[in-house]
Amino acid sequence: KRIENKINRQVTFSKRRNGLLKKAYELSVLCDAEVALIIFSSRGKLYEFGSVGIARTIERYNRCYNCTLSNNKPEETTQSWCQEVTKLKSKYESLVRTNRNLLGEDLGEMGVKELQALERQLEAALTATRQRKTQVMMEEMEDLRKKERQLGDINKQLKIKFETEGHAFKTFQDLWANSAAGDRNNSEFPVEPSHPISLDCNTEPFLQIGFQQHYYVQGEGSSVSKSNVAGETN
């Protein structure tokens, strides 16, 4: 029976609690058993021991306990599942009917209040749709503005690069022209422009009487004269 003396009771609790914890540990080690021990003192203090953890052992116990209850009461389990199936089926039919009403179908059985509620629902959905559409359009416009600014920056960079390269090329052309002009001025043998010599190739034999015809040889500095006698033909 219960020990009435409070001090003796506390001493006995401490001794037997330690012995019980020791026996639980020995049982788990010697027999490779999964042991869980939970003790609350009269003051509400907790003492526990778990070979693999208290929470894991309790979870395993709950699984075994629920499985045992299901095996002992198959009829109740079947009935609960049937009720769950009935609820899900009713909910599915309600959702299908609501969807058809939103599409404008099967409105004949609806009353004025139901139609008004449906109208408010459609107006709210239309407002939300328009707001989302406006937001998407604004985001797309902002993206286009960003792309436009990026293309403008790239265009400015390319323009600056083109102007720089064009200025460098023009400077190179000026230097090349000045260098060529200086080479022509410093040449020892200036180039004189050539004058074309016209030659008359349409000459025909003719009769010459009583005068001399002179032939000049270009480049030799001498002349050769020849007298033509009357009646001779060249």
Q: Could you tell me the residue ranges of all domains in the chain?
A: 1-72, 76-109, 111-177
Q: Which residue has the higher pLDDT, 32 or 202?
A: 32
Please count the residues of the chain.
Answer: 234
Band (97; pLDDT cuts 50, 70, 90) = confident
Residue 11: how many other CB atoms lie within 10 Å:
12
pLDDT exceeds 60 at position 228:
no
Q: Superfamily for 1-72?
A: Transcription factor, MADS-box (3.40.1810.10)
Identity of residue 167: H
How far apart (Å, rounded) are the C-alpha atoms in residues 104 and 118?
A: 10
The fraction of the chain above a pLDDT of 70, given in percent, is 72
Tokens standing for 26?
């020995």
**Number of C-alpha atoms within 13 angstroms, CB side, residue 128?**
6
Cβ atoms of 34 and 20 within 8 Å: the answer is no
Residue 35: how many other CB atoms lie within 10 Å:
17
Give residue 180's pLDDT: 67
Identity of residue 6: K
The per-residue pLDDT for range 58-87, each reduced to its tens digit, is 998 888 877 766 665 666 667 778 888 888
Band (232; pLDDT cuts 50, 70, 90) = very low
Residue 36: how many other CB atoms lie within 10 Å:
19
Q: Is 122 helix (H, G, I), strand (E, B) or coil?
A: helix
Lowest-confidence pick of 45-54, 95-104, 202-211: 202-211
Q: What is the DSSP letter of 54?
A: H
Structural element, H or E, at residue 215:
strand 212-217
- β-pair type (36-40, 46-50): antiparallel
Tokens standing for 137?
């359009």
End-to-end CA, the chain: 176
Band (169; pLDDT cuts 50, 70, 90) = confident
Give residue 199's pLDDT: 47
Using alpha carbons, select from 14, 16, 36 the residue that is nearest to residue 25: 36
Mean pLDDT of 88-99: 88
How far apart (Å, rounded) are the C-alpha atoms in residues 40 and 47?
A: 6
In angstroms and rounded to an integer, the radius of gyration of the C-alpha atoms of the chain is 61
Give residue 159's pLDDT: 86
pLDDT exceeds 70 at position 142:
yes
How far apart (Å, rounded) are the C-alpha atoms in residues 190 and 146?
A: 64
Cβ atoms of 67 and 76 within 8 Å: the answer is no
